[in-house]
């Protein structure tokens, strides 16, 4: 598995992934890999990590993968309901 595949794997199977987790998983350039995935069309959101168990001393980010097909399906459903 390439580093990019490992990053995608983490994002797919977890709700959100803290940047420190990528360091623990020995993916030091996760931000660069995420930039590549975004360029391929993946919707990856960057947020501040607020997990109290991580006990960060400085601001750390976490990444979350959005599933666009679910959103499209849901809005189609809503449109059908609205138009009867
Ligand atoms: Zn964290």
Q: How far is the CA of 81 from the centre of ligand 1 (A)?
A: 40
Q: How far, in Å, from the CA of 11 to the mean position of ligand 1?
A: 14
pLDDT, position 68: 63
Ligand 1 centroid–CA 62 distance in Å is: 7
Residue 75 has pLDDT above 60, yes or no: no
Kindly report each contact of residues 77-84 with a partner whose C-beta sits within 8 Å and lies 24 or more positions away, as own/partner: none
Write down the pLDDT at residue 77: 52
pTM (2 d.p.): 0.75
Question: What mean pLDDT comes out for the span 46-66?
Answer: 94
How high does pLDDT run on average in the chain? 85
């Amino acid at each position: 598995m390439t580093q990019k595949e490992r990053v995608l794997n983490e994002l797919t199977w977890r709700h959100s992934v803290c940047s420190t987790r990528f360091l623990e998983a020995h993916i030091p350039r996760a931000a660069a890999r995420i930039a590549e995935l975004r360029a391929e069309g993946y919707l990856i959101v960057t947020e501040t990590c607020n997990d109290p168990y991580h006990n960060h001393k400085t601001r750390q980010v976490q990444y979350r993968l959005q599933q666009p097909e679910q959103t499209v399906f849901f809005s189609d459903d809503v449109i059908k309901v609205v138009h009867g």
